[in-house]
Amino acid sequence: MYNTNRPNRADLPTTRQLLRSTGLAALIAAALLITAILPAEFGIDPTGIGRTLGLTQMGDIKTSLAKEAQASDASHASAAQAQQIAAAPIAPAVPDHGHDHGAGSGHTHEATSSVPPGADTQSQAAAAIADPMREHTVTISLKPGQAAEIKLSMDKGATVRYEWSAEGGGVNYDTHGDPVNAPKNFYHGYGKGRNETAQTGTLQAAFDGKHGWFWRNRSGRDVTVTLKTEGDYGQIERVL
């Protein structure tokens, strides 16, 4: 019934041969781990081969973005528990274009409606209703490794034109939004990047909630981030 011939004992590999093959396979696996996997996935390159092949740069980007995501999640959790961390609500400015000072090192300026200084309160309120557009300029100083986050209260579909720049070095950024009563671990991103010095664009709120920008200074020197916003939003605040 069985046509398969049993191998001769002499044809089978010896214990010594099996151990040698296993050891060789282990050495090859260790070499691949050190020269390819560690540089590409974690940015760890003890031999320098990964950087030559361009794998270390890939690992650095993955590691940096993962740290930014963790830092962003941690800041959101802390904000939910404490409601506001170092909150700096910005009240509407008077028509003389004075400056308001936010929390920490942030400085803000809002250009409001064109109501003349002699107008009464009712005229100012009517002008504010007729012109929902708001403008702010926020300046934040970040030390090496320090992070900051600015959020705007926006209704679904509302848009804001923005422009931010980093002076002194590049920053990692994450533009995202949080809905009202956001579920745990919720994340909605509008874009992120690494070692950037400027960005300009339009943000349209995907839902009612808070939308804004998270920056972290990964350079070795102080960096100043300046954010300019113009559009349909309510409160602007620094939450980190």
Spell out the domain ranges in the chain: 13-65, 85-238
pLDDT band at residue 101, thresholds of 50, 70 and 90?
very low
Q: Which of 10-24, 45-59, 165-179 has the highest mean pLDDT?
A: 165-179
Length of the chain (residues): 240
pLDDT at 132: 64
Q: Which of 3-12, 115-124, 166-175 has the highest mean pLDDT?
A: 166-175
The class level of CATH for 85-238 reads mainly beta
Residue with structure tokens 């691949």? Answer: 32
- SS3 at position 195: strand
pTM for the whole structure? 0.50
Q: Answer yes or no: is pLDDT of 24 > 80.
A: yes
- Supply 35's token pair: 């020269």
- Supply 16's token pair: 């010594």
Q: Answer yes or no: is pLDDT of 220 > 80.
A: yes
Which has more confidence, 144 or 43?
A: 144
